[in-house]
Structure 1
């Protein structure tokens, strides 16, 4: 996708702190209501410890059938499970050059940081840990202030690993590291970024991939399926409205943020706008099909919408589905 404007790569630290403080306040006000009641975590779910049995209800997962109780009572029963209390959440944060773009209320990069802030707020409680791997295109990434990040992986892409830690202060330091990462020209290898969550093998937890997923699905779908074998996977797709359709504004000069190439597009041509919208719809359908095939829970956030409200609805829907015993 092309971008009409680029933001300076170096963001002042005071502005970063102000943005993160505002995000924390917004997230706390709207998401605290979702955390009331039994302990559940980011994706409230079945856990791994067996609990009591109850009668089967339509919508329950048949894989949790309690066959001994069913045989004794001649009524179908399912086995309840107790939610795990110490979860480990890992974020795969894609900060390719295409994320430094936005025509709505936010830049796509800002939505990425905001989504990470909401996830950290939902995760870091009760001793839960959160870590991240960041892909920032070519070149060297900015060092994290409070984190001892592993050395970048060799190659044209720069990946930074931030170890999983517990505590709100550590989570805030992780968010500062994400917000302070410099976006560099080029596209990160999303498949390699996701695959970093598979190595080394970790105990079952939650893996969240935040990206615009504009890279061909052939490159990242298989690592995502592999990740889903062991973890609950959430895919957060960040979209700008100009990636879905073009406005009628005459000749529009645009710059490819990944290559720096300048193009002029005649948006007054209705056939061009129609072809663009059709191609964009086909691309998004392909992305959705790949995420669905990988078994990931899919959340789409837009730069022109209330991303926090969309995330609240997503978490509430996940909670409702899990408490009813369904998968997704």
Structure 2
């Protein structure tokens, strides 16, 4: 992909996702992810209805009439995106690939965070951590993230390692964060790392999948490649045994994922490549 093509895609995604974050998600994001507490802002004169426990008695004594302390919510948070860029994320048979869906989700969440003056950082991973972008604020920073979401390719091929990304998060970010882990979760076991990360951070998993991740389409005898390892095999897609085994493998992966998140206490969202992710995110924010 040329630089011009990348910039064109960045602009198109910016227009779409910035509009969603401004008009749909910004308020819900703000109410879902509260600040860390209340900080003192100013003192003003007491008005009927003010809580008397906030009266500033020193100022009141000085001016011989009541004044109250005003507090405001400490809003600044750190939002981390953990983004799976392994080869299996390139798969997609419906409206978009899993990687394209992750890119849009990442852009929407980034713009929602920056609208609320929060910092955003990203950890890209495959079978290892591929790239780390430290948390920062600003539109320029968000556009850099979107460019990387579109164009970054993994240096390594092999079984995806969600656990490595979670361990890296715990090592580099010491403060509590809001972390969105976006993957198809075709990965080495990660239950222990997920539990450790969920204790420190507010963690939300987003499982992206395609219709044909779940069921093998009937197409006769075809040569297929393992997206993670590149291994080629011939597969009879009309075989009942092959179709049953394919579905069983997906169901086992899905069951492990659901149980791992449930045990950790972290949230898990499911988004299919041909579904409206807006409704999924809105539903989560409202439930939260």
TM-score normalised according to structure 2 size = 0.79
- SS for the counterpart of 2:170 is coil
Which has more helix, going by share of residues?
2
Which has more strand, going by share of residues?
2
Cα distance in 1 for residues equivalent to 2:126 and 2:91: 14
CA 1:194/1:259 → structure 2, altered by over 3 Å: closer, same or farther? same
Equivalent of residue 20 in structure 1, options 2, 10, 14: 10
In the alignment, structure 2 segments of 5+ residues that lack a partner are 40-71
Partner of residue 89, structure 2 = 99
Equivalent of residue 269 in structure 2, options 273, 296, 299: 299
- SS for the counterpart of 1:199 is helix
Structure 1 runs (4+) deviating above 4 angstroms are none
- SS for the counterpart of 2:208 is strand
Q: Does structure 1 conserve the Cα–Cα contact (< 8 Å) formed by 2:126 and 2:161?
A: no
Equivalent of residue 37 in structure 2, options 49, 54, 57: 49
| Matched residues, number | 256
Larger CA Rg, structure 1 vs 2:
2
Q: Does structure 1 conserve the Cα–Cα contact (< 8 Å) formed by 2:210 and 2:272?
A: yes
Cα distance in 1 for residues equivalent to 2:146 and 2:126: 15
The answer to which structure, 1 or 2, has the higher relative contact order (CA under 8 A, 6+ apart) is: 1
TM-score normalised according to structure 1 size = 0.70
Cα distance in 1 for residues equivalent to 2:287 and 2:222: 40
Matched, 1:175 2:165: no
Cα distance in 2 for residues equivalent to 1:175 and 1:271: 42
CA 1:264/1:84 → structure 2, altered by over 3 Å: closer, same or farther? farther
Q: Does structure 2 conserve the Cα–Cα contact (< 8 Å) formed by 1:207 and 1:233?
A: yes
What are the Cα deviations for residues 234-290 of structure 1, in whole angstroms up to 9, with x where unaligned? 111111221100112211221112222111211112343233223322321221111
Equivalent of residue 176 in structure 2, options 204, 218, 230: 204
Partner of residue 323, structure 1 = none
Cα distance in 2 for residues equivalent to 1:311 and 1:35: 8
Q: Does structure 2 conserve the Cα–Cα contact (< 8 Å) formed by 1:27 and 1:308?
A: no
Q: Does structure 1 conserve the Cα–Cα contact (< 8 Å) formed by 2:160 and 2:228?
A: no
Partner of residue 61, structure 1 = none
Instruction: Output the aligned Cα RMSD.
Output: 2.5
- SS for the counterpart of 2:193 is helix
CA 1:136/1:215 → structure 2, altered by over 3 Å: closer, same or farther? closer
Equivalent of residue 166 in structure 1, options 126, 137, 140: 137
CA 1:126/1:309 → structure 2, altered by over 3 Å: closer, same or farther? closer
Residues 287-326 of structure 1 aligned to structure 2 (within 5 Å): 287-318=257-288
Q: Does structure 2 conserve the Cα–Cα contact (< 8 Å) formed by 1:40 and 1:83?
A: no
How far did residue 198 of structure 1 move? 0.5
- SS for the counterpart of 1:124 is helix
Partner of residue 260, structure 1 = 230
Q: Does structure 2 conserve the Cα–Cα contact (< 8 Å) formed by 1:291 and 1:298?
A: yes
- SS for the counterpart of 1:213 is coil
Cα distance in 1 for residues equivalent to 2:136 and 2:78: 9
In the alignment, structure 1 segments of 5+ residues that lack a partner are 1-10, 52-81, 138-156, 319-328
Matched, 1:242 2:233: no
Partner of residue 223, structure 1 = 193
Q: Does structure 1 conserve the Cα–Cα contact (< 8 Å) formed by 2:21 and 2:109?
A: no
